[in-house]
Structure 1
Amino acid sequence: METNEYIESGILELYVYGLLTESESIEVAAMAKKHDEINTEIIAIEKAIVALSASFSPFHSVANFEKIKAKLELKHGKVVDIKPATTWSQYAGWAAAVLFLLGFAYQYVQLTQTKQAIETVGTEKDKLKSEYALLDQENKATEKNLSIVRDIKNTGVTLGGQAVAPQSFAKAYWNKDTRVTYIDAAGLPKPPKGKVYQVWALKLSPVLTPTSIGLLTNFDANTQKIFKVEDTGYAEAFGITLEPEGGSPTPTMDQLYTLGKV
């Protein structure tokens, strides 16, 4: 501790008033012996106290005055090495440091929580964007399918269930002008593994002549079960059979699921 700091700490006044512990008094005496500035300051404090006492007690005898003065004289003790007494300024510094660390920790926690909240919002935003894109895609598919069903130029052909699957049904939408054909297969059961539905355009006379116009592939992925097949220039009937994956050159008649006449 610098000499000026030691003097300004207030410990010299406590020493003159006799309010320090024995070890602290020994320390002050050692400092006074080592530093003339400190010794001079102690003497100045003593004189000030004596003068103040005289102003408040002017009627004391000269003998009493001298006794008081002698009692306040500086007494030098044994010099020992001892750490300077801790001052309130040091405590204040440590307290400020602790408060700073606590404030920094609080701000760090708040920042971490804010980052986590931002990341959560970003994740939710991305999830909503994906869901919106999927809904938008499904909505467009629905609008397209509705336009097929509502198109008065399309001939709707109902395909009823046959012996192998009486509960099955389907519907064909055939535009004779554009030759575009769509199949609504919502009434067909899920095809077994390794199998696929195959659609046939049938000419009934003079002899039954089937022509393959497409496979209903990716059956599970097509949620609305509306399939566009190959262009159809002629058809007196439509039929759907269950065939090995990849299709067949001719229909397997005992696997005829649905059939309908135009």
Structure 2
Amino acid sequence: MENKLQIFMESGLLDSYILGTTTPNENLEVESYIAEFPEVEAEFERLQNNLEILAKAHTVKAPKFILDEVIKEIAKNTEDQPVIQLSSAPTHSRTPWYSIAASIAALIFAGMSLLLYKQNISLAHENQVVVDEIFDLRSDIEDNNNKLENVMLQFMKLNNPETEKYVLRGNSRAKNLKTVAYINAVDKTSMIDVVSLPKLPENQTYQIWAELQDRMVNLGILDESERNKLKTIPYMENALGLSITIEPKSGSPTDNAHTDNSVAEITLKND
């Protein structure tokens, strides 16, 4: 039974199930394992949480101008066509019926020509709009594919068995501060998820540091605008720990961190 469970956990079916790429038969197999084995259920919950982190990190709001453009287009297509008023013929003299017929035919021909001309102009404009929209859609599809590829790569990094998760919580100076660091010593990659950062005065910033044997190395600035976004930070070989400090904005990123400024810190595993 344990061998069967181990084979399933190493098959990658659970990852594919989370991403929605499994077949109906594979779905039934995964769901049966989730129902039968608590270990599989716990791993399923962990994968779902990681996928939720990635979803929040890549949330994109729809542009505000889309609704206005749709309303304008509907209004334009529902406008009444202008009506041409024709003056009545004089009544004091009789006009031969064939002259009247010829005049009516000429007016109809002129009206049809004008209508066809306007329709051709409108169709040409609509065709150009369609062509532009196709190019825009292709560009959007390419951007979305690139974003999806990045999400898949980050998801794989988060669920790599070699990736260690570290939670940094603020001390009394920043009680609501919380960030999560993901470090893989094999791939030599580091990412950080800013969960919450207490507001600071305009002249101060949060900075994250790596503690080495003989010095502190600045890994970048943390900002509230990066909340719930996975941010890549430099990987430091043989780092003993990570710390977050409050520093003046005017300070140089290469300055050493001051211990008194620390608001959160953790010790890293060095196996």
TM-score by length of 1: 0.53
> Which residue number corresponds to residue 91 of structure 1?
100
Matched ranges for 1:178-217 at <5 A? 178-188=187-197, 193=202, 195-203=204-212, 210-216=215-221
Q: How many residues align?
A: 173
The code of the aligned residue for 1:142 comes to V
> Which residue number corresponds to residue 244 of structure 1?
248
Alpha-carbon separation, structure 1, partners of 2:178 and 2:193? 9
The code of the aligned residue for 2:167 comes to T
Alpha-carbon separation, structure 2, partners of 1:223 and 1:255? 22
Structure 2, unaligned stretches of length 5 or more? 1-93
2:126 to 89, 96, 117: 117
Q: Are residues 134 and 255 of structure 1, via their aligned partners in 2, closer, same or farther at CA, if it must alter by over 3 Å?
A: farther
Alpha-carbon separation, structure 1, partners of 2:254 and 2:232? 19
Q: Secondary structure at the match of 2:176?
A: coil
Q: How many percent of aligned residue pairs carry the same amino acid? A: 20
Structure 1, unaligned stretches of length 5 or more? 1-84
Alpha-carbon separation, structure 2, partners of 1:259 and 1:217? 14
> Which residue number corresponds to residue 261 of structure 1?
267
- Higher-Rg structure is 1
Alpha-carbon separation, structure 1, partners of 2:142 and 2:159? 26
Alpha-carbon separation, structure 1, partners of 2:169 and 2:228? 19
> Which residue number corresponds to residue 177 of structure 2?
168
Alpha-carbon separation, structure 1, partners of 2:103 and 2:242? 92
Q: Does 1:103 align with 2:109?
A: no
The CA deviation string for residues 167-191 of structure 1, in whole angstroms up to 9 with x for no partner, is 1111222233454322222333577
Report the aligned-residue RMSD: 3.3
Deviates more, 1:144-153 or 1:168-177: 168-177
Q: Contact (CA 8 Å) 1:156, 1:174: kept in 2 or not?
A: yes
> Which residue number corresponds to residue 234 of structure 2?
230
Shift of 1:239: 0.8
Q: Does 1:136 align with 2:145?
A: yes
Q: Are residues 128 and 178 of structure 1, via their aligned partners in 2, closer, same or farther at CA, if it must alter by over 3 Å?
A: closer
Q: Are residues 219 and 187 of structure 1, via their aligned partners in 2, closer, same or farther at CA, if it must alter by over 3 Å?
A: closer
The code of the aligned residue for 2:263 comes to Y
2:157 to 141, 148, 151: 148
The code of the aligned residue for 1:92 comes to A
The code of the aligned residue for 1:139 comes to L
TM-score by length of 2: 0.52
The CA deviation string for residues 109-131 of structure 1, in whole angstroms up to 9 with x for no partner, is 32233234334434544554454
